């Protein structure tokens, strides 16, 4: 007898998946029907973690008899990035997300603000609510307090919520845990920022891989190679993604980019010309706001970099 139903993708291991009917956590294996695979032309992964799918199953699901994914249901939102510097292909990091937790560190590894800004722009484009988690603040307060304060000023000033955390001392973890409660949350960031440590601090029963920083390059080593969702004991689910080393924008024209910088969008109402690229036009309210310090030079420089990016990203 053929059984059909709907479930959520909670783990991706190449061409094999694990599904569960959320909010229950009863996993069963599945594979993708070839026709569904061919229908996706815009991303390297036709099925993403968090996708709601339809499936069919003969008998009981196990490794020898997996369910068959027959359809990917429409997504409410997703986070997507261009896969490589010169590639036109894109990869969906997570779908149907209530909250994107973007973990960052000022040092070890050193933060790249353009990288963070690209993730934030992507969240704005695809209707995903972001929260920035500045990890390792116990170290920064004693070592680089002015740099930490400047970072907080830039991003809180741009309208983003920033939670100061330390997986080591548990500072901010209760706040983040409450924010994630009963939500599907994606945690993402560059390699080595402490994503796995944050997940373990949120729920000590979870055991994502944790690695040391390479002091030679001050870069984190990849510890997570698979995309996987975990249930949180406090309620809700968290999607762990591999540490990222690049984040290219997808399907975003040059004239659209400024629309997804909230502080620039607000200032642009005063521009003399519409549309305005905020680069060379006279009477540009955005450039004037940058000169007055109302929009950070760092964010504006990220914007200029996105304009110049076009086909490659570093």
Question: In 3D, which of 103, 98, 104 has the Cα closest to residue 127?
Answer: 98
- For 188, the token pair is 């993402």
Statement to judge: residues 98 and 213 lie in one domain:
yes
Statement to judge: residues 110 and 221 lie in one domain:
yes
End-to-end CA, the chain:
52
Task: Please determine, for residue 81, whether its predicted confidence score (pLDDT) is greater than 50.
Answer: yes
Percent residues over pLDDT 90 in the chain: 64
Which of 60-69, 164-173, 232-241, 297-306 shows the lowest per-residue confidence on average (mean pLDDT)?
60-69
pLDDT for position 310: 53
Higher pLDDT pick, 239 / 2: 239
Statement to judge: residues 231 and 165 lie in one domain:
yes
Which phi-psi region, left, alpha or beta, contains residue 106 (left: φ > 0; alpha: ψ -120 to 50)? alpha
The reply to whether 280 falls in a domain is yes
- For 106, the token pair is 């000022």
The reply to whether 299 falls in a domain is yes
Classify burial at 219, counting beta carbons within 10 Å of its beta carbon; exposed 0-12, middle 13-18, buried 19 or more.
Answer: middle
Sequence-distant (6+) residues with CB within 8 A of 100 are 79, 94, 119, 123, 128, 129, 130, 131, 185, 186, 188
* Mean pLDDT value across residues 86-103: 86
Q: Residue 230 — φ and ψ, nearest 5°?
A: -125, 145
Structural domain of 104: 78-240
pLDDT for position 223: 37
Neighbours of 240 (CB within 10 A): 24
* Mean pLDDT value across residues 88-96: 85
Statement to judge: residues 228 and 127 lie in one domain:
yes
Which of 240, 271, 293 finishes a domain?
240
Taking only the tens place, the pLDDT of each residue in 21-34 is 999 999 999 998 77
Which of 72, 101, 116 finishes a domain?
72
Question: In 3D, which of 131, 208, 129, 139 has the Cα closest to residue 171?
Answer: 139
The reply to whether 251 falls in a domain is no
pLDDT for position 177: 96
Domain count, the chain: 3
Where do runs of H (alpha helix) occur along the chain?
A: 34-39, 113-125, 137-143, 145-157, 173-180, 195-202, 262-267, 285-291, 297-309
Taking only the tens place, the pLDDT of each residue in 242-274 is 766 567 677 777 788 999 999 999 999 999 998
Which of 28-32, 57-61, 258-262, 302-306 shows the lowest per-residue confidence on average (mean pLDDT)?
57-61
pLDDT for position 167: 86
Task: Please determine, for residue 119, whether its predicted confidence score (pLDDT) is greater than 80.
Answer: yes
pLDDT for position 191: 82
Statement to judge: residues 208 and 96 lie in one domain:
yes
What distance in Å separates the CA atoms of residue 201 and residue 195, rounded to the nearest whole number?
Answer: 10
Q: What is the mean pLDDT of the chain?
A: 86
Statement to judge: residues 10 and 87 lie in one domain:
no
Percent residues over pLDDT 70 in the chain: 87
What distance in Å separates the CA atoms of residue 170 and residue 197, rounded to the nearest whole number?
Answer: 10
Which domain CATH number covers 89? 3.40.50.300
> What number of residues does the chain have?
314
What distance in Å separates the CA atoms of residue 124 and residue 120, rounded to the nearest whole number?
Answer: 6
Which residue in the block uniquely carries the two structure tokens 């330390």? 166
Which domain CATH number covers 296? 1.10.40.50
Which domain CATH number covers 46? 2.40.50.140
pLDDT for position 138: 93
pLDDT for position 219: 37
Q: What is the three-class DSSP state of 221?
A: coil
- For 256, the token pair is 């659209």
* Mean pLDDT value across residues 136-149: 94
Statement to judge: residues 23 and 165 lie in one domain:
no
Q: Residue 109 — φ and ψ, nearest 5°?
A: -85, 155
Task: Please determine, for residue 144, whether its predicted confidence score (pLDDT) is greater than 60.
Answer: yes
Statement to judge: residues 8 and 142 lie in one domain:
no
The reply to whether 248 falls in a domain is no
Question: In 3D, which of 84, 93, 120 has the Cα closest to residue 298?
Answer: 120
Task: Please determine, for residue 111, whether its predicted confidence score (pLDDT) is greater than 70.
Answer: yes
pLDDT for position 14: 72
- For 76, the token pair is 């409410």
pLDDT for position 276: 93
Taking only the tens place, the pLDDT of each residue in 181-226 is 999 999 998 888 888 899 999 999 998 764 433 333 333 333 334 7
What distance in Å separates the CA atoms of residue 68 and residue 270, rounded to the nearest whole number?
Answer: 54
The reply to whether 245 falls in a domain is no
Task: Please determine, for residue 38, whether its predicted confidence score (pLDDT) is greater than 60.
Answer: no
* Mean pLDDT value across residues 136-164: 95
Q: What is the three-class DSSP state of 281?
A: coil
């Amino acid at each position: 007898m053929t059984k059909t139903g709907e479930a959520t993708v909670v783990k991706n291991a190449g061409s094999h998946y694990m599904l569960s009917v959320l909010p229950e956590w009863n996993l069963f294996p599945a594979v993708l029907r070839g026709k569904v695979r061919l229908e996706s032309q815009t991303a390297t992964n036709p099925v993403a973690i968090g996708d709601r799918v339809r499936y069919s199953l003969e008998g009981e699901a196990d490794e020898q008899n997996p369910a068959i994914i027959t359809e990917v249901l429409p997504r409410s939102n997703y986070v997507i990035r261009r896969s490589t510097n010169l590639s036109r292909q894109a990869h969906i990091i997570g779908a149907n997300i209530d909250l994107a937790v973007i973990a960052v560190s000022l040092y070890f590894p050193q933060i790249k603000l353009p990288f963070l800004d690209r993730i934030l722009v992507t969240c704005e484009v695809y209707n995903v609510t972001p929260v920035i988690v500045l990890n390792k603040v116990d170290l920064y307060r004693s070592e680089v307090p002015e740099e930490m304060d400047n970072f907080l000023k830039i991003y809180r000033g741009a309208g983003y919520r920033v939670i100061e955390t330390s997986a080591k001392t548990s500072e901010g973890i209760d706040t983040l845990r409450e924010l994630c409660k009963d939500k599907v949350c994606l945690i993402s960031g560059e390699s080595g920022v402490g994503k796995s440590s944050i997940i373990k601090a949120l729920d000590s029963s979870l055991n994502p891989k944790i690695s040391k920083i390479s002091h030679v390059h001050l870069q984190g080593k990849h510890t997570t190679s698979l995309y996987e969702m975990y249930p949180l004991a406090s309620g809700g689910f968290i999607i762990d993604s591999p540490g990222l080393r690049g984040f290219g924008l997808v399907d975003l024209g040059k004239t659209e980019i400024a629309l997804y910088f909230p502080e620039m969008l607000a200032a642009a109402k005063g521009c003399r010309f519409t549309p305005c690229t905020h680069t060379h036009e006279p009477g540009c309210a955005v450039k004037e706001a940058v000169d007055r310090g109302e929009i950070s030079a760092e964010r504006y420089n990220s914007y200029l970099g996105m304009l110049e990016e076009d086909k490659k990203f570093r």
